[in-house]
Amino acid sequence: MEFAPEAKMPQQWWPPSLHGKAVYSLTDDCQDATEGLRSTIPTSGIPRSPRPRLDAILPRRPAAARLAVTAGLAAIPVCAGLWVGTDTWAGVAITAAASLALGFLLSLMLPIMHEATHGSIARARVTNALIGWLAGAILLIDFATYRRLHLAHHRHTGEPKDPEAPVELKSTAGYLLHLTPYYFLIPFWRLSWAWMLSTPRGLSASQAALVALTVGIAGATALWPVHALWIYWAPLMLSAGFLFLTTVHEHVPLQGDAVPVTRTIVSNPLLSFLLWNTNLHIEHHRSPTVPFDQLRVHDASPQPLPGDVVSGFAAFHRRLLAELRRSPRAEQATAP
């Protein structure tokens, strides 16, 4: 992924809450709908609670379930690797498998950041901000940077102002290169830290916490290099490949597609659950304020949606690789 240097990042706009739930205005249609809903809410005679309700602060049940499953799955390879060790070849093999599994689970931090950006994890803004910050910090990414870019991407998808500028994918070698941190992690690391270090007013509290966490990870690596390698650094590098495999479909045009294109992948329930339904990308772009658990598959929509629908991630990547093998691709684009 590359970011257009000329693109101006819009200021973050936090609209008034609707029944305690943040609603983001990403398109004119969404803004009109939001204003229409607000106009139907009575402004007098409603008692106001001096404190936010607990159910508004805690993650919603669909989000809490996904967070719990992701954390529980992450504990399994960590415990297995610590228990087995690397003293034998069998232990090395189990540790390598654990690192691969952790790599996939680290890639799931991106859907969490995505849903926190859209305010669908909890009704309380602070809960979304904290969970989004934690997910970004695990990847060493500033959540505020990601949020600005993603909201601007929704406003200007496929336009010159889209901050997620397209990257070229012309050959199988380029496909393999994008399985490395080159595709997602390195651009976001560079942009996150460049913005943080160039802020005239200094670091915000969340950015200072990210710096402190990074220093702590570096210190832990110096003290326990072997464990840090397979528990964190190797999975972090491996997560780059999973990030590419699960996000490249969103806007990359294939032969016969209109440009720009948005694509939905109809996947199995388990993978869709772990990805927070981000594979339903047409539906998300059509209704970005709809929570992830309320998105429905393209074919079930009462109105036809523009874009491409593919049955399964494997089918999409087979199609993409087939095009890359047949001939060098003309300038085409990918953006997560």
| Averaged pLDDT score across all residues of the chain | 79
Helices (H) and strands (E) in the chain, counts: 15, 4
Residues above pLDDT 70, as percent of the chain: 76
**pTM score > 0.95 for this model?**
no
Q: How confident is the model at residue 278 (pLDDT cuts 50, 70, 90)?
A: very high
Rounded to whole angstroms, how far apart are CA atoms 252 and 258? 10
* Structure confidence by residue, pLDDT tens digits, 49-74: 455 677 778 899 999 999 999 999 99
Query: Scanning the structure block, which residue is given the tokens 């009109």?
Result: 32
Contact 64, 120 (CB under 8 A): no
Instruction: Name the more confident of 57 and 21.
Output: 57
Region 187-210: mean pLDDT is 87
Does residue 272 register a pLDDT over 80?
Answer: yes
Q: What is the mean pLDDT of residues 76-94?
A: 82
* 103 compared with 25, residue with greater pLDDT: 103
Q: pLDDT class for 332, splitting at 50, 70, 90?
A: very low
Residue 8 has pLDDT above 90, yes or no: no
Cβ-contact 112, 292 below 8 angstroms: no
pLDDT, greater one: 328 or 149: 149
Q: What pLDDT is stored for residue 38 in this prediction?
A: 37
For residues 257 and 279, the model is more confident at 279
156-174 confidence digits (pLDDT tens):
887 878 877 656 688 899 9
Across 237-251, 252-266, 280-294, the highest mean pLDDT is recorded for: 237-251
The predicted-structure confidence for 302-326, as pLDDT tens digits, reads as follows 455 557 889 999 999 999 999 888 8
CA distance 84 to 100: 16
pLDDT for the residue 145: 92
Tell me the Cα Rg of the chain. 21
Which is more confident, 297 or 291? 291
pLDDT of residue 334: 46
Residue 99 has pLDDT above 90, yes or no: yes
Strand ranges in the chain using DSSP code E only, listed in sequence order: 2-3, 164-165, 263-266, 308-311
Is the pLDDT higher at 42 or at 276? 276
Q: What angle do CA 181, 289, 1 make, to 5 degrees?
A: 20
Q: What is the DSSP code string of 53-74?
A: -HHHHSPPHHHHHHHHHHHHHH
Per-residue pLDDT at 88 exceeds 50: yes
Is 237's pLDDT higher than 60? yes
